[in-house]
Structure 1
Amino acid sequence: WVKTDYNVDQYIAWPFWTPDSKKMAVQVLNRDQNDLRIILADPQTGDFNEIYREARKTWVEFFEDVYVMKNGSGFILRSYKTDWENLYYYGWDGRLISQLTNFEWRVNEILRVDEDAKVVYFTGTGPESTDNHCFRIGLDGKNLLQMTKGPGVHNVSISPKGSYYTDTWSNISDPGSIIAFDRKGKTIREIHRFEKPEFDASKHSRAELVRIRTSDGLFNMPAIITYPLNFDPSKKYPVIFRIYGGPNSKNIPGNRWQGENPSWDSQNGIITFTVDHRGSGHFGKKGLDYLYRSLGKWEILDYIDAVKWLREKPYVDPERMGITGSSYGGYMTCLALTKGAGYWTHGFAGSSVTDFRLYDNIYTERFMDTPQDNPEGYKDGSALTYAANYKGKLFMTHGDIDDNVHMQNSIYLISRLQDEGKTFQFMIYPGNRHGYTGQKALHSRNEANAFWLSSFFGK
């Protein structure tokens, strides 16, 4: 056993070995999740020494994608210590060999490390947070090269020896193509071009990527608005927010082609709306840290700003403003109809957290600390607190053996709404966990569709 102190509350996870397998690096995170250490342990004796430490006032997270250099010189990790995810190259003695990147945008993933050529290939957003590009940089942090060109999402695959790369790209206005290029970023050929169909309003729905300013003027939230078939701007349309909304979890899949086939919403005369709040990951730790000890506060405030933006559009019907999601998205939906009552009129919530005092301690304490340390934060972030404000129509669903978000969450909100004399709907899915399967999944989907048709069109 590693001779760490097992009498204190801490998390020990994500180990990785030195290339010669003589020592093992272990990540140790304190209970408050704001102080992370990497210790290098001798498996024969259990002795260890600390080789890395990172702490901040809010929270830090485990490094899940550490790259270990095969030549034994050290390891590369992706850290938020400059408020944006950047790459750092450390030796096994804990010495920083080089900070590979120093961007004010997000590095997403290490694709490949060419140790012989002393370069790292990685993906990142670049300055536009809805993009994804491939980059190359030296292990000394010099000679940065952006290998993919043009706005959009670029998904890069690498040949076994790293000599060639393919880029499958698109953006919201262009279905894109597949391009082959070499390790220096030189285009070899366009392998395939995806044809953009001639737009037919009766067959195709139009999508736009927009930015919405938060009311405090600090963030420009990305959003995608998808219009129904045969869209007529002189008419009034209902809207459905389709969201997840958890910390560092983007709803916007990126500036990519949305496809030719219209969604169920579009086929049924409904505008689909997706937006990312300040804590979604688009704005680095500057945005994320707003959520510290305040889950449910800034997400709803930012979503309300999006509702206000939509209300300014002559083609949006503010009396038919829906929201839906599952898990954290269910939490957002329940909050929207209680804490945000008056902005949304309808909600369909699945597997919802309703009070974080009822949820997993590791996830919850990372952002909220303990209920004893942060009672007001837990109270303010609970849908139960605002049950008296509820108005509109809410349909909740839950699996009775959900071992992630226990059905207790929905039961507590149901009880509170009943005590307040409120009307709502609830569906239990027996024998189902956090994600419904088989006929239960089909039933839930059909119930949701029927709810929207009935609520918006009286069908």
Structure 2
Amino acid sequence: MHYYRVNFDGSGLTEITQTAANHHVSFSDDMQYFVDNYSRVDLPNIAELKKADGTLVRVIAKADISQLTAAGFKAPQVFVAKGRDGKSDIWGLIVKPQHFDPSKHYPVIENIYAGPHDSFVPKDFWPFGYHSGGDKVIGMQALANLGFIVVQMDGMGTANRSKAFHDVAWKNLGDSGFPDRILWHQAAAKKYPWYDISKGVGIYGASAGGQSTLSALLFHPDFYTVGVAFAGCYDNRMDKMSWNEQWMGWPVDESYLRSSAVVNAAKLQGQLLIIFGEQDSNVDPSSSLQLVNALINANKDFDLLEVPGGEHSVGRSTGPIDYVQRRQFMFFIQHLLQQPTPNWNKQ
């Protein structure tokens, strides 16, 4: 995000936040000065006082992350590749293990949230947010430290780009940007020998990300082979109308069936763990149970964890976080690393 000034007739467009970073600006009451607080995922916060034309008055503060770095923190790597249209840049992050060895090959896991209501890859420096853990998404760094490359990207269909970029999601929530995501993975694997997608890619997500996780396994089974889905709205016909009808339209038509994990449950080929909270007040728990019923009727094997009393954020910010995280982490170790896990009942 950058800020500009412009004359009322459209002339004189001038950028006042020149640094290549994500900017958060607060103006003085008379609009003659502003404080510019900016950062990137690989640039700690800097706060500057500037005149309205962008001239620097003074540096107010610079973040000191020396203790964080000494503790082992490494910023995620920014990566970009072209999307399905051959021209749109798809931006994302690559999180490596803290003891990364470029001579090794690491399986890849994607952290997905692909709703068309926003874009989701972090732009600010936020070492305790999406990248490391935090209050919304299970820790990418913690998962990477087990021997994975963990990534996050925004495919076509997400917001804050062009209308054509956004329109991909219209009546097409099952798409979740996967044609772009797969190209992004393939480009990373071509560039980096340690980026190993030869045995399939793992994926996890919550809520709309849970729905996307199932879409990955059902509609792209040759690419995505292991998934952990949290609290997903697996059929847009039964989730809250305020979100689903906004993007899928009215009346309910065949497009709802094409995007439904419940309708397409018989297509499952990979390994799946479903996690949901009994008291989910955002996505009805019966959404998960409808999927369970469809998978059973299709004679499909899967793993299931229902958390009694758990809310929509179960395993991410409330409830038995450590237990739910462990179940997710062990699932990827078993099925993506194909390694045995401890008998936790004896620990």
TM-score by length of 2: 0.83
Q: Which has the higher contact order (CA 8 A, sep 6+)?
A: 2
Q: Give distance in 1, aligned partners of 2:70 and 2:144.
A: 11
Residue 323 (structure 2) aligned to one of 443, 453, 457: 443
- Which of these residues, 18, 21, 35, is aligned with residue 152 of structure 1? 21
Match of 1:363 in 2: 243
Q: Tell me which structure has the larger Cα radius of gyration.
A: 1
Cα displacement string for residues 28-56 of structure 1 (whole angstroms, at most 9, x for unaligned residues): xxxxxxxxxxxxxxxxxxxxxxxxxxxxx
Distance 1:160 1:447, change over 3 A: farther
- Deviation, 1:258, is 5.4
- Select the residue among 169, 186, 202 that pairs with 1:322: 202
Task: Deviation per CA, 1:292-333: give whole Å up to 9, x if none.
Answer: 122212523222323333443421232262111111100111
Q: Which moved more, 1:430-439 or 1:178-187?
A: 430-439
Distance 1:365 1:234, change over 3 A: same
Residue 284 of structure 1 is aligned with which of 162, 167, 186? 162
Instruction: Identify, as 1 or 2, the structure richer in strand.
Output: 1
**CA distance, structure 2, for counterparts of residue 143 and residue 362 of structure 1:** 41
Quote the residue 1:303 is aligned against. 181
Identify the structure with the greater helix proportion.
2
CA distance in structure 2 between the aligned counterparts of 1:328 and 1:198, rounded to whole angstroms: 36
> Which residue is 2:34 aligned to?
165
Runs of 5+ in structure 2 lacking a partner?
133-140, 342-347
Using the TM superposition, give the Cα deviation of residue 139 of structure 1 relative to its aligned residue in structure 2, in angstroms. 4.5
In structure 2, distance between residues paired with 1:204 and 1:440:
26
- Greater CA drift, 332-341 or 258-267: 258-267
Is 1:346 aligned with 2:214? no
Measure, in 2, the Cα distance between the counterparts of 1:371 and 1:388: 26
CA RMSD of aligned residues (A): 2.7
Could you say which residue in structure 2 is the equivalent of 1:241?
A: 110
Residue by residue, what CA displacement relative to the aligned partner does 1:71-126 show, whole Å, maximum 9, x if unpaired? Answer: xxxxxxxxxxxxxxxxxxxxxxxxxxxxxxxxxxxxxxxxxxxxxxxxxxxxxxxx
Distance between the aligned counterparts of 1:425 and 1:288, measured in 2? 34
State percent identity of aligned pairs.
Answer: 26
Q: 1:309-458 to 2 correspondence within 5 Å?
A: 309-312=187-190, 313-318=192-197, 319=199, 321-372=201-252, 374-375=253-254, 377-436=255-314, 438-455=318-335, 456=337, 457-458=339-340
What is the alpha-carbon distance in structure 2 between the residues aligned to residue 219 and residue 292 of structure 1?
18
Residues paired across the two proteins, number = 325
- Inter-CA distance 431–298: structure 2 relative to 1 (3 Å threshold): closer
Question: Does the C-alpha gap of structure 1 residues 209 and 391 become closer, same or farther in structure 2, counting only changes over 3 Å?
Answer: same
CA contact (8 A) 2:311 2:318 kept: no
One-letter code of the match for 1:316? Y
Instruction: State the 1:141 CA deviation.
Output: 4.0
Say whether residues 1:274 and 2:143 are aligned partners. Answer: no
SS at match of 1:448: helix
C-alpha contact (below 8 Å) 1:240/1:321 kept by paired residues: yes
Which residue is 1:209 aligned to?
A: 78
In the aligned structure 2, how far is the partner of 1:423 from the partner of 1:231? 34
